[in-house]
Structure 1
């Protein structure tokens, strides 16, 4: 019996060593301000180049709608004097990755009109534009569809109302923190929620139109209000509302 238990322990340890992924970057939101070596602010309403941020969104992004406290980043959507405000940050030109396991631990806000997201864009977006650069939506949630999480890939082949998506109904997803993950390899992209596989994108024919995912991507975090996806039937009685992030981690796969 002892010999059998020893074999089991050794096998487990060997398996753990082989499957453990190397952490290559993390953001734990320590301190009281965002790390300028990691993050950029995107400000305003997107005009004149991309008014409404390309989706007819209602908010103006500022540097004043977020706080860092006790290791949490809190983005707060507000309504003041008939103006919606929020925050959007990116790691463009600072922290970019090609392949890996990217995860965020976050707590969603509840309310009609809210549209929190954790997503990625191809680093060549300025050269080839969207959607040819590619987009990976690790987490999208819209308050008008409670308990539903969207995971989506946008490419030149299918974008906007992309066919490469899954909407997953998860009872009570707005309660507490949950982990949203992509495992991105040269062959496929797996989307997971709380370590459970929900969707896999794996085109049979990888072309520039179907697989722009052989290049570095950067991370975006934002809380939008209204718009084509968030919905324009915004409940103005809900504000202020918070989108809270505990950490972001990227592992080599």
Structure 2
């Protein structure tokens, strides 16, 4: 009779699921044999976790087959230092699967302190441990709540090896289900779980009660463990932390039993659509010209319902009839990855991505704006940032448009850095609409090693701004408190005595505080050569500020400066946002070398700046306090 009911149910299941996936039975355990199949299952024989009271044994009194059923039996008896024994089987290293539909028909016991569960663990648990391997609870049940079960997943909030505290890393998401009538101990119930690469769904007797998407899990972690095979665990725990204060007592029956009729796994046999895009891996397109995207899509065992086209993961269009096309017009030069998705009438989705990149205009190959890199000594117009596009040579918060184009701009109109004509100087351009976090990069050729004065010219906005510069990826200099001044169109700030080494470098401008600032140019003037071809004695002596020593330091460091003549000097320390920390020297000093020791015992670790001001120059250097 069991075989007939199985056949009828199987045919019904295929019919009822045909509108979702084309599931077909791929594996089952019917428990019809006399002994448990040791090629599939392992009987546990050890103590348990989670403050449970039982000792799991491999004895036939705790785990056995009878009348086509698996019996997991909990007994009140002293064994292995515990007051209860029970049964647990698992398919670790014997049977595992990835994606599909699980169905377990079972009957559960009622009683205080009973905790049966049907669950799965990731196959890599022996390599990375729990919860990093992931856990899927198909069914968990508390014997004192005989009409309620739950479904849950457990995972880590961080990638393995984690923080060193597995319980602290663990996250879980789950939901309960209440039978509309009766209890799980009165009749057999069907526990079902459906698992795809994007969704997990729990059912009881074909009634869905919980659905969990991949995105909901990834909202709590940077590591998704559910894209791998999992194996089964079926057990009856006695007591444990899942039960709270409902631990076993005198009211708990001396013998408790979980009956499992079968465990079945169905997997989708639908053949997904095949997508072919006939483009070169780097397909050239023209900026501001319409380009027709096209894909050849076929489905061997069904029909294609729709095809979607994506550029940079943004949907461009959808087509429901062959030939499948969409039209796209690139507005900004750059490189755009193409992605195509196809969906068939059996809910099969295919994705084509990572093979074609559409190259618009100047593309994403990094190159200097002119034929040669900008040169120091000299003036670098800051709108002459490198070619290469978004995230290569610049970052702009409006990557799909140049906001300056609405202000009469006719310079680099197909790139996203916002540029406007300078209304104060004909033929000059400014970077505009600046936002915190935006940056531009420049290939730079320094012709001669030496000390330079660095001048930044901007058109200030309504607020105070700060612009930082990096050289070869390292913090270099910054200009703080850039603000408007009455009667002045531009704000010019200079930092003196910066040591630069000849050769090719990469310069980066970073907007730390925007304040409406519009960067114009960065000018470098050589004041003292240190090149062997141009010995320093050929230049007049100058004011110098040496790098502090040691650097990094803790808690104190030496700062030295040299004067070519008697000068009024102000030497002070500032934090990374320009706040004054301490004045080290202030007054008139004679010609020659001077030094002062700075003690940062009461300061936090971080980057600090020390600045030397005279009537003729301002020199700023960076130092690092590392405690």
Q: TM-score, normalised by structure 1?
A: 0.85
Aligned to 1:25: 27
Distance, in Å, in 2 between the alignment partners of 1:19 and 1:126 is 32
Aligned to 1:74: 71
Contact 2:240 2:247 (C-alpha < 8 Å) held by counterparts: no
Distance, in Å, in 2 between the alignment partners of 1:144 and 1:117 is 14
Task: Report whether the alignment pairs 1:89 with 2:89.
Answer: yes
**SS of the residue 2:214 aligns to:** coil
Distance, in Å, in 2 between the alignment partners of 1:197 and 1:220 is 22
Deviation at 1:173, TM superposition (A): 2.9
Deviation at 1:22, TM superposition (A): 1.2
Deviation at 1:145, TM superposition (A): 2.5
Distance, in Å, in 1 between the alignment partners of 2:266 and 2:41 is 19
Deviations 1:211-252, CA, capped at 9 Å, x for gaps: 311000000000001010134531344120110000000011
Greater mean deviation of Cα atoms: 129-138 or 74-83: 74-83
Contact 2:99 2:267 (C-alpha < 8 Å) held by counterparts: yes
Distance, in Å, in 1 between the alignment partners of 2:241 and 2:267 is 35
Distance 1:115 1:185, change over 3 A: same
Distance 1:244 1:102, change over 3 A: same
Pick aligned residue for 1:238 from 253, 264, 275 = 253
Distance 1:211 1:172, change over 3 A: farther
Task: Report whether the alignment pairs 1:182 with 2:193.
Answer: yes
**SS of the residue 1:155 aligns to:** strand
Contact 2:31 2:68 (C-alpha < 8 Å) held by counterparts: yes
Greater mean deviation of Cα atoms: 224-233 or 187-196: 224-233
Aligned to 1:165: 174
Unaligned 5+ residue runs, structure 2? 1-14, 159-165, 269-627
Distance, in Å, in 2 between the alignment partners of 1:209 and 1:61 is 35
Aligned to 1:194: 205
Deviation at 1:163, TM superposition (A): 4.6
Contact 1:111 1:235 (C-alpha < 8 Å) held by counterparts: no
Contact 2:156 2:171 (C-alpha < 8 Å) held by counterparts: no
Aligned to 2:109: 109
Deviations 1:77-111, CA, capped at 9 Å, x for gaps: 00024720001110001100011101100001000
Deviation at 1:169, TM superposition (A): 1.7
Aligned to 1:9: none
Deviation at 1:204, TM superposition (A): 1.8
Task: Report whether the alignment pairs 1:247 with 2:282.
Answer: no
Deviations 1:112-140, CA, capped at 9 Å, x for gaps: 10000000000000111111100100010
Deviation at 1:19, TM superposition (A): 5.2
CA RMSD, 1 decimal: 2.4
Task: Report whether the alignment pairs 1:43 with 2:45.
Answer: yes
Distance 1:149 1:136, change over 3 A: same
**SS of the residue 1:224 aligns to:** strand
**SS of the residue 1:97 aligns to:** coil
Deviation at 1:157, TM superposition (A): 2.7
Structure 1 consecutive aligned stretches of length 4 or more whose deviation exceeds 6 Å: 158-161
**SS of the residue 1:204 aligns to:** helix
Larger Rg: 2
Distance, in Å, in 1 between the alignment partners of 2:75 and 2:55 is 10
Distance 1:121 1:36, change over 3 A: same
Contact 1:137 1:152 (C-alpha < 8 Å) held by counterparts: yes
- Identify the structure with the greater helix proportion: 1
Aligned residues: 234
Deviation at 1:63, TM superposition (A): 1.2
- Identify the structure with the greater strand proportion: 2
Aligned to 2:575: none
**SS of the residue 1:153 aligns to:** strand
Deviation at 1:146, TM superposition (A): 2.8
Distance, in Å, in 2 between the alignment partners of 1:32 and 1:203 is 41
Task: Report whether the alignment pairs 1:225 with 2:222.
Answer: no
Distance, in Å, in 1 between the alignment partners of 2:131 and 2:241 is 17
Deviation at 1:205, TM superposition (A): 6.7
Unaligned 5+ residue runs, structure 1? 1-12, 46-51
Distance, in Å, in 2 between the alignment partners of 1:213 and 1:219 is 14
